[in-house]
Structure 1
Amino acid sequence: MRLAFFLTIILLVSGCSKKQNDDGSKLLVHNNYFSVSENNRKLDSIKNNLQSDSLEIIEIHKDKRYNDDYHIGAIHFMISDSSKSYYLINYLENPVLMCGNLTAFSREDSIKIVKKNILKIQKSTAIKTNDIIQILKKYKANIVNNSQIPLQITFALKNDTLKGNAIYNIINFMENNKMSVYEIRTMNEQEREKISK
């Protein structure tokens, strides 16, 4: 539970960052392609600039025993290419976060999370990549839920770079609809296996 809270805080600090793009938008991403590694470098640069400007930012160090490659949010999308994707609903309510005496996060905890998420990935549903925004619209009330922290949306791309404006359109839609907690990474081995079937 504590890990979910920490991940949410990290994503609020990193995922919501915006800057003026070449096309005049305030999104961090390009409108004709998306690169996971380039995006991560930009987010790291923004974080470093905030630190050098001596602004106070919340920085939570993730436990090294946690495997980020298998993290999935409330709604998780696996994007094979500009036409084919998969999605799964992990949960539609914010998890209850409890403070107090919690046991330390262990390597076994991470293994359990990975195993559970692999089972969920195997049950994902095939969709057209263009349908991602329609799914986000369908679950908007659940995602935004009028609380301070919206549900986290996660994306896994088959390759580091996806050509076209799919990611730009998705992020533009999410930012304009207060879905500001999201993470984009490359696919793990089990996600690659799922999309290759």
Structure 2
Amino acid sequence: MTSRVTFLSPATSPSLRQARFYDGDSIDDTGAARAREAAGSLPVPAHVVMSPSVRCRETAEALGLAGMEKPELNGLDVGRWRGRTLDEVAAAEPEAVGYWLGDPGWAAHGGESVRDVCARVGNWLDTAQDMNGRTVAVVEPEVVRAAVVHVLDLPATAFWRLDVPPLTATELSGRAGRWNLRLGRPLSLSETPTAQ
């Protein structure tokens, strides 16, 4: 049996536009409109899951998807940095930002490490291989990065080298622990939805 998981990154929000660590804000009007326009471009899923965040829930709704929130698909917990811009944190704690970007096991900000989020998402993905039909997962960009690190068996240091634009699809297909990867397809009305 071939498993298919399509990870969708959320629409734009003020925190994304301001390079601010996500703090629970809603998607913006432009992001919501783009998601509504792209609603017809997705294959018909058997399962829909999402990160338990406002912007993922709102993106799913704008895409016409209803599903379950999965705590294991939560974005990276950045602890006390939540709601602050990267520039603010870098000015106040330059050494900490350096450790955070360079050491995947570092979590002194009071949240979780990159290594931990990669393991958490990898564990979920291993169980997703047992689900019948296509799964669409509307998830935070860090979840997409962690999934790519897992399926390609990359070192956790590669996490920050992966860019995940808003409203893009990263598609996985595979069986017996081996995944194939298709990165960053923009959602577009020019594609015809198919059931697989």
TM-score, structure 2 normalization: 0.31
Normalising to structure 1: TM-score of the pair?
0.31
